[in-house]
Amino acid sequence: MLDGTSQTIAGSTTFYDLTKTVAGADTLTFTAGTTQSIATGGTLTLAGASGNLLSLRSSSEPTDWNLIVDSGGGNYAIDYVNVKDSDASGGKTIYPYYSADAAPGSTNTNWIFPNLQLVKQVWNGGTCLASQPADAGCSTSATTASVPAGTTVSFLIYIKNTLPVQAKDVRFLDVLDVTATGFDYVANSLHRDDGTLADTATIADIYNATKAPGDGGTGVLLTDGVDGDIGSVCDSGAGGCPGVTLDRVSVGNTAGLTPAQTNGSLTYNANKTFAVLFKAIKK
């Protein structure tokens, strides 16, 4: 275990376990041109912390430092790192969480940095009215829609994890427009998907697997209050949680928000789609 600061690994070495974790920002340097290998059954652990990344650097940029995590049984746990000039092509592909490619597209080989895209859509009666970003399957790529006062619409929010690793500790929020020309949230309408959605699911699949059973779907209810499940709906003003004017939809462990919405943490599997849906009435 490397427990110092500003350390350098010199020479090429095969490790069974190699661990470097830090609470404050730090840099771990590898001698340019050398190769660090993790043997079958061993584990490479490299981790910084939120807001304090562990930087992984070559001693002589832009010459690569090489990394081989044995594809036959080597393991890794890599979080909160900032990586540059690393060639991991000799072993497993590296998928680091909460991490940064120091020079995207140019300096790292066989590292894939997860970049989940959130999609928000408006549905009415089984018809997708608008999607951001645009989706050709939703009203011919419409990104905005207008509905008459009194219309109940469904807001569908989803994320596709197209990678072969879990999406860990996912969190997001959506604030509903509750002004005089906006919407009123429909109490107890927040649902999540039923857990069956692959990352290839169509928007119709996602909608049907997330809407309430009472509406012909297979979605799972998330109670409005902050009670340990992964979602809640609160009043973003002085009303707190749940409050009077429900307008702030939060998913995942969003502790630290005002008002506080400390939901359960959300992790979902490789090659899966996660979705939530809630209803609102146009004023």
Last residue within a domain, chosen from 46, 66, 101: 101
Do 178 and 127 share a structural domain?
yes
> Of 90-99, 143-152, 190-199, 215-224, which range is least confident?
90-99
- Do the domain assignments include residue 112? no
Last residue within a domain, chosen from 70, 101, 132: 101
Spatial separation of the C-alpha atoms in residues 64 and 86, rounded to whole Å: 5
Predicted confidence band of residue 242 (pLDDT cuts 50, 70, 90)? confident
Do 124 and 97 share a structural domain?
no
- Do the domain assignments include residue 236? yes
Do 129 and 91 share a structural domain?
no
Q: Which residues contact 172 (CB under 8 A, 6 or more apart)?
A: 118, 157, 159, 250, 251, 252
Helix (H, G, I), strand (E, B) or coil at 203: helix
259 preceded by a cis bond (ω within 30 of 0): yes
What's residue 202's pLDDT?
98
Do 176 and 46 share a structural domain?
no
User: Domain containing 142 — which CATH number?
Assistant: 2.60.40
Do 167 and 97 share a structural domain?
no
Do 237 and 193 share a structural domain?
yes
- Do the domain assignments include residue 201? yes
Do 193 and 274 share a structural domain?
yes
| pLDDT mean over 269-274 | 95
62 or 237: whose pLDDT is higher?
62
What's residue 105's pLDDT?
66
Do 143 and 27 share a structural domain?
no
- Do the domain assignments include residue 107? no
- HSE-CB for 35 with a 13 A CA cutoff: 12
Do 193 and 55 share a structural domain?
no
Q: Say if CB 98 and CB 78 are below 8 A apart.
A: no
- At position 165, the amino acid (one-letter code) is V
Do 136 and 90 share a structural domain?
no
| pLDDT mean over 215-242 | 90
- Do the domain assignments include residue 145? yes
pLDDT tens-digit map of 33-90: 999 999 999 999 999 998 899 999 999 999 999 999 999 999 999 999 999 999 999 9
- Do the domain assignments include residue 1? no
Q: Say if CB 77 and CB 53 are below 8 A apart.
A: no
Q: Residue 22 belongs to what domain range? A: 8-101
* CB-neighbour burial class of residue 51 (10 A; exposed 0-12, middle 13-18, buried 19+): exposed
- Do the domain assignments include residue 109? no
Last residue within a domain, chosen from 101, 127, 150: 101
- Do the domain assignments include residue 198? yes
What's residue 103's pLDDT?
75
Do 234 and 129 share a structural domain?
yes
Do 129 and 65 share a structural domain?
no
Spatial separation of the C-alpha atoms in residues 211 and 218, rounded to whole Å: 6
The number of distinct structural domains making up the chain is 2
Average pLDDT, the chain: 94
